[in-house]
Amino acid sequence: MGDRPSATIATVALRKTAERGKDKLYKAADTILRNVYVDNILESVESREAALRLSQDIDKLIAPRNFAVKKWLKAPVVLTKSYCLSSINGIYDPLGLISPFTVKGKILLRKIWGEKLGWDDTLPDAMREQWFQFFNELTDIASICFPRCIKPEDAEPNTRPTLVVFSDGSEQAFGAVAYARYLLKDSRYACRLIASKNRVAPLQIISIVRLELSGAVLNKRLTCYIKKEMRLSFEREYHIIDSEIVRAMIQKQSYGFQTFAFTRIGEIQSATNPQDWWWCKGELNVGDLITRGERPSELSVDST
């Protein structure tokens, strides 16, 4: 099993095994097709007896194809603050490609902190339902695909891309997302997702304008990171926000503002041209996705 595609081959073989066994053991087959994440089988049933029957059926289904479950862990699901934090930190997404989904978990964590629960306290029933829904959606991440190459194959040669960075802020989170925009040979344009960053809003209530401004700071920082680490040379930059107030603040001198705004506007102006900041309607700002959350089923190449 040292060959590179071995893991993919094993996954495909397991799914084929489940598809062929649907007629005899439908529940077991459906669990494998819907709830296998990497090498783990995740399922929630109404009782320990149902869990035992399901695990036995899965063993019976996959054994003829020489598959075997190494160990079954059957126990009542106890959701605690520590478990939820560990689960969120276990999602590896350094570029923020699926941040519209992962921000949902971060927002749920923010709610836990607001309840001031202990690390091992059981979550309230209302929170449990939200977390179960999040974990069920987690398995759908495997269906999301992104182009490995940022530059389209039919991009116009000898032209440089444009860097377009959106940012937004809400009562729950703020963030920024960056795209490379290419001119194609047929005179159309194509955009490719580069990366995104977001943060949850503080528990202490602050104004939406401050959160929008914090999103603009992440816009600037993400821009600097991309320009430093990528070998692409951009023809132009566009920084797009849906707050006319924040755009007006950025285009003014930073003095005269209170400390919160003064430091952030100064940071933005130190590395970006205020004339490169543009306003758009809120419904056109894709940065909204990384501040409110979206289901994996709603994310695709077209949605980026």
Contact predicate 196/175, CB 8 Å: yes
193 Cβ partners below 8 Å, 6+ apart? 97, 146, 177, 178, 179, 304
CA dihedral (291, 292, 296, 302) positive or negative: negative
pLDDT exceeds cutoff 70 at 144? yes
Contact call for residues 104 and 131 (beta carbons, < 8 A): no
Question: What is the model's pLDDT at position 47?
Answer: 78
Q: What is the pLDDT of residues 12-60, one digit of tens each?
A: 888 889 898 888 899 989 998 888 877 788 887 877 788 889 989 999 9
- What is the pLDDT, as a whole number, of residue 199? 95
pLDDT digits 0-9 by tens, 243-261: 999 999 999 876 778 899 9
State the pLDDT at residue 264.
94
Of 48-62, 64-78, 179-193, 286-300, give the range with the top mean pLDDT. 179-193
Name the architecture of domain 162-298: 2-Layer Sandwich (3.30)
Tokens matching residue 22: 């649907």
* pLDDT, tens digit, 9 for 90 and up, residues 199-253: 999 988 789 999 999 999 999 999 999 999 998 899 999 999 999 999 999 998 7
Is the model's pLDDT at 304 over the cut of 60?
no
Contact 215, 167 (CB under 8 A): yes
Query: 236-241 and 277-279: which strand pairing?
Result: parallel
Average pLDDT over residues 273-280: 96
For CATH 3.30.420.10, the residue range(s) in the chain are: 162-298
pLDDT at residue 273 is higher than 90: yes
111 pLDDT more than 70: yes
Give 56-72 pLDDT, tens digit per residue.
Answer: 999 998 988 888 888 78
Q: What is the DSSP letter of 151?
A: S
Which DSSP symbol is given to 78?
-
Q: How confident is the model at residue 77 (pLDDT cuts 50, 70, 90)?
A: low
Q: Up-side HSE of residue 26: CA atoms within 13 Å toward CB?
A: 1
**Identity of residue 147:** P
Is residue 172 within 8 Å of residue 283, measured between CB atoms?
Answer: no
Q: What is the pTM (predicted TM-score) of this model?
A: 0.74
